A and B are shown apart, each in its own frame.
Chain A
Amino acid sequence: MTTIKTTYGRRAFLKNVAATSGGMVLGFSWLTSCQTQPVEEVLAMPDEWFNINSYLKIGDNGVVSIFAPNPEFGQNVRTSMPMLVAEELDVDWKNVIVEQAPYHPSDFGMQFTGGSRGIMSRWEPLRMVGASARQMLRQAAAQAWEVPVSEVTTDAGVLYHEASSRSATYGEMASAAAAVTVPEEVQLKAISDFKLIGKSQKNVDGKDIVTGKPMFGVDYKKEGMLIAMIEHPPAFGMTLKSFDASEAKAMPGIKDVVKIKSYKDGYEKQGFDANAFPELVAIVGNSTWEVMQAKKKLKVEWEPFQTYEEVYGGRRGSQTRTVPAGLESTDSHQSTMEAYAAKAGKIARRDGNPEAAFKKAATILERTYTAPYLAHNCMEPMNSFAHVEGDKAQIATPIQIPSLIVPTLAASLGITAENVQMDMTRMGGGFGRRAYGHYVVEAALISQKVNAPIKLMYTREDDMTQGIYRPTYQATYRAALDENNKLLALHIKAGGVPESPLFANRFPAGAIDNYLAEEWSVPSNISIGAFRAPRSNFMAGAEQAFLDELAETMGQDPIEFRLALLQRAKDNPVGERNDYDAARYAGVLELVKEKSNWGTAEAGTSRGVAAYFCHNTYAAHVLDLKMEKDRPVVEKVTTAIDCGIVVNPDAATNMAEGGIVDGIGNAFFGEMTFKDGEPQKKNFHEYRMIRMSEAPKAIDVHFVQNETAPTGMGEPPFPPIFGAVANAMYKATGTRQYNQPFLKEEKVAG
């Protein structure tokens, strides 16, 4: 058992009735009424609710309502986070309903979805929420029964005093519990006592999803709401010059056409304010189809902009960056990257004497890997609801990090952040894209200008060509071998447009005596942003493909080769800082070796292995594929994950499966290209997405069993899959491929 002080986030545990009734329920009726119920039975709702703390209330009939604090985009924290509360509260999961918390950080802490950090950061705080509520119930029972608290026990929503054979349900004791002072200290359960955590629970939203209930940003409605759409430049490097709205305004159902400017002059943008198109034309009308038709009649003139300086805020204070003028093309990106890669980079790490090692090498293996820009392509296009009235804004939007857009929103509207009321709708996919809330600012500015509630909708074309892409990258790996094929040195030189993907302190740094890592970057005006495991999503594939080829050159089995390096990193690490635990990293390789029956390949099946550590979790894959009529067919992926304690095993498995399918799809097909600044793919007939027939026939996920505090699953399985695909394809075709996407000439299936 862990005793823990309820100090951090303590205010959240105060049953602040004023905040509950005034801040959270009023005006939030659409979404807080989206309660979920367990599928098996229809729960009777209580006559009265008692607020125990800002996260949970208990009904007089024992039903418990728990707020899911973080935004949801399919990672299923709406199930797993309430599970943490319910575990320590000690209630039957069947009696729990989940409500979506509005954006209210003083009550709910950091409401942030990204970086695979959700469960990791909420692990102890949410358990504390449940434990402190349980403590208050025990206190209330002890008072009612006039017995010591230590003699009051609980089990699945019932309080007991065994000595006097008394019991009371949580429902019966809730009113009294609500009056108890929040305890200073609570005890958390021992892991061995978990009843809920570690046992798969069904998605609390399953029933609503399969019956088409409104839940996404695009589904939000309010009386009097108008639809808005924007027109942004067709190419990066361009800005708004002028527009003629006369024809568009004359179209049926159109209310207005306005220009909006997302940032006030001199506004210091923060990291998640990335936006290449701050000046837009917006059309407002009665219905989506009418606005879509009018959009076609808009006459807009765009012009190239001059190079300018942009001031950015961040952890290191104000910085200036140059946004270069120009209309960039994929061809120019490739030739520029080659030129930068040929020059000396910025040294990020140097161990031993790599230059000397390369000079005396008998063999040097050198390979260069590239990958293109990627578009996130969330299934739900960018959208937001906003209603700005005077100095107040009511927002309902799919957003990953509300706290990072509220300051910009307030500044652009000219109101205070306190007057922004925000509901976080369910997101139809995020992948990092919805951390950049420019669309919230746009919807609010439009609402302010036309003085009406607005739902801003992006078409798929608007969305796919708006930017905030995964950058294009290039990495060269060089290994020096002596005459006995012993590894002497490793040299990595990585770069990209506009950022380097290098992680200098990741494996195999720490396992190699002579090591050099350097990097470069090319300035660009094409906007980029976090894409599922940023930078890792390229480096892992390049690194794991190189290690595969290096192992082959050295005559070693790819898994044994990695395990030997990890052994060295564990026993006698090189350097001061190595960003991985060699034992845990080896653990996932050992587990995947065992579960895939490595070494006993099926006839006609080609296998590739890859492993990686990022976002606090270790992942290893063995991918089995066959060639059918010159096309690769993925038969099976066997996966080993070390993410510590697995809160909801089936949901975690679903996340691994999703990351695997996403990785295969992007490795095979993912690609955004540019010509004179214009994105060349605007919809799914041009941008190839992985389809049902291309997904693996089977995926088998295994978790390392340990008692380490949980870490995330959203990103870690994704990066190494690119390496597993590359390595399996080599075995299948006899040719190694170094440039993604690997199936470039594929046409879209009918």
Chain B
Amino acid sequence: MAKFNLKINGENKEVDVDPTTPILWVLRDHLDLVGTKFGCGIAQCGACTIHLDGVAMRSCQLPVSAVGSQKITTIEGLSKKGTHPVQQAWLEHDVPQCGYCQAGQIMSAAALLENNADPSDQDIDAAMNGNICRCGTYVRIKAAIKTAAKMS
């Protein structure tokens, strides 16, 4: 166990955990931030996607000891009132079915649009292929990303 000072969603948080603890479990078990989800534990499904200094990362394989002073953004911190263009576009297209993968999808999409304001279909596929949607909302996700791109 060791103490870590983390910058999460603009706030300073201190946790006392084993240094190997992935950020996913720091968030879910120790900080009551359960929006980031567990799907596989081996960075194959994308449900755990967060931003580390704006870069989309799979938090299930990001040990707390590796974070340092880098800023973590989770789905809860993507916007103040759920008004990020990606979140708004998701609502406009009524994307979710079960909803479990969607926080990860949104985080991956938001990071894509930060780097690429007008992604092509291939750009979207490449950026989003790491996020599984078991319910099959991929067509809506792609449409929502394009709408979000137009909004920003």
Q: Are A288 and B35 in contact (CB-based, < 8 A)?
A: no
Interface positions of B from 12 to 37, Cβ below 8 Å from A: 17-18, 20-22, 25, 28-30, 32-37
Q: Are A216 and B100 in contact (CB-based, < 8 A)?
A: yes
How far apart are the CA atoms of A21 and B36 in the complex, in Å? Answer: 34
Confirm or deny: B66 has a beta carbon within 8 angstroms of a beta carbon on chain A: no
Smallest Cβ-Cβ distance to B21: which chain A residue: A289
Q: Are A692 and B98 in contact (CB-based, < 8 A)?
A: no
Known: A206-B90, A252-B1, A289-B29. A215 touches B99 (CB 8 A): yes
Confirm or deny: A222 has a beta carbon within 8 angstroms of a beta carbon on chain B: no
Confirm or deny: A469 has a beta carbon within 8 angstroms of a beta carbon on chain B: no
Q: Is the interface of A mostly helix, strand, loop or mixed?
A: loop
Q: Are B103 and A212 in contact (CB-based, < 8 A)?
A: yes
Q: Are A654 and B35 in contact (CB-based, < 8 A)?
A: no
How far apart are the CA atoms of A252 and B21 in the complex, in Å? Answer: 12
Q: Are B137 and A657 in contact (CB-based, < 8 A)?
A: yes
Smallest Cβ-Cβ distance to A73: which chain B residue: B98
* CB neighbours of A290 from chain B (8 A): 18
Could you say which of A459, A695, A697 has the most chain B C-beta atoms within 10 Å of its C-beta?
Answer: A695
Q: Are B87 and A211 in contact (CB-based, < 8 A)?
A: yes
Q: Are A657 and B32 in contact (CB-based, < 8 A)?
A: no
Confirm or deny: B121 has a beta carbon within 8 angstroms of a beta carbon on chain A: yes
How far apart are the CA atoms of A689 and B36 in the complex, in Å? Answer: 21
How far apart are the CA atoms of A227 and B28 in the complex, in Å? Answer: 12
Confirm or deny: B120 has a beta carbon within 8 angstroms of a beta carbon on chain A: no
How far apart are the CA atoms of A153 and B94 in the complex, in Å? Answer: 34
Q: Are B34 and A658 in contact (CB-based, < 8 A)?
A: no
Q: Pick the residue among B45, B97, B101, B102 that contacts A76 (CB under 8 A).
A: B97
* CB neighbours of B137 from chain A (8 A): 654, 657-658, 661
Confirm or deny: A379 has a beta carbon within 8 angstroms of a beta carbon on chain B: yes
Bits for B24-68, please: 1 = Cβ < 8 Å to A, else 0. 010011101111111111101101000000000000000000000
Confirm or deny: A736 has a beta carbon within 8 angstroms of a beta carbon on chain B: no
* CB neighbours of B90 from chain A (8 A): 206, 210
B64 → chain A closest CB, angstroms: 10
How many chain B residues touch A (Cβ–Cβ < 8 Å)? 61
Q: Are B44 and A683 in contact (CB-based, < 8 A)?
A: yes
How far apart are the CA atoms of A398 and B143 in the complex, in Å? Answer: 30
How many chain A residues touch B (Cβ–Cβ < 8 Å)? 69
* CB neighbours of A293 from chain B (8 A): 18, 20
How far apart are the CA atoms of A227 and B74 in the complex, in Å? Answer: 23
Q: Are B98 and A429 in contact (CB-based, < 8 A)?
A: yes
In the complex, the number of residue pairs spanning A and B with C-beta atoms less than 8 Å apart equals: 193
How far apart are the CA atoms of A715 and B78 in the complex, in Å? Answer: 35
A106 → chain B closest CB, angstroms: 28
Known: A209-B99, A212-B76, A658-B135. A203 touches B29 (CB 8 A): no
Known: A202-B91, A207-B91, A288-B29. A695 touches B100 (CB 8 A): no
Bits for A163-205, please: 1 = Cβ < 8 Å to B, else 0. 0000000000000000000000000000000000000101101
Q: Are A202 and B94 in contact (CB-based, < 8 A)?
A: yes
Confirm or deny: A109 has a beta carbon within 8 angstroms of a beta carbon on chain B: no
Known: A692-B129, A695-B138. A684 touches B37 (CB 8 A): no
Confirm or deny: A655 has a beta carbon within 8 angstroms of a beta carbon on chain B: yes
* CB neighbours of B42 from chain A (8 A): 460, 683-685
Q: Pick the residue among A227, A378, A749 that contacts B129 (CB under 8 A).
A: A749
Q: Are B97 and A289 in contact (CB-based, < 8 A)?
A: no
Q: Are A287 and B98 in contact (CB-based, < 8 A)?
A: no
Q: Pick the residue among A214, A219, A658, A698 that contacts B136 (CB under 8 A).
A: A658
How far apart are the CA atoms of A342 and B125 in the complex, in Å? Answer: 46
Q: Are B97 and A658 in contact (CB-based, < 8 A)?
A: yes
Known: A74-B98, A380-B100, A683-B42. A691 touches B29 (CB 8 A): no
* CB neighbours of A689 from chain B (8 A): 45, 132, 134
Q: Pick the residue among A210, A218, A658, A692 that contacts B87 (CB under 8 A).
A: A210
Q: Are B96 and A429 in contact (CB-based, < 8 A)?
A: no
* CB neighbours of A428 from chain B (8 A): 37, 98-101
How far apart are the CA atoms of A379 and B90 in the complex, in Å? Answer: 19
Interface positions of B from 95 to 152, Cβ below 8 Å from A: 96-103, 106, 121, 124-126, 128-129, 131-142
Known: A202-B91, A683-B42. A211 touches B35 (CB 8 A): yes
How far apart are the CA atoms of A211 and B39 in the complex, in Å? Answer: 18
Confirm or deny: A426 has a beta carbon within 8 angstroms of a beta carbon on chain B: yes
Top 8 closest A-B pairs, CB basis? A212-B35, A661-B136, A428-B100, A74-B97, A74-B98, A212-B75, A695-B138, A693-B125
10 contacts between A and B (CB under 8 A): A73-B98, A207-B91, A210-B90, A211-B75, A211-B76, A227-B29, A289-B17, A429-B134, A654-B97, A661-B137
User: Given A212-B74, A650-B94, A690-B136, list of 13 further CB < 8 A pairs?
Assistant: A207-B82, A209-B103, A210-B106, A211-B75, A212-B35, A214-B35, A287-B21, A379-B39, A379-B134, A430-B98, A684-B44, A691-B125, A693-B126
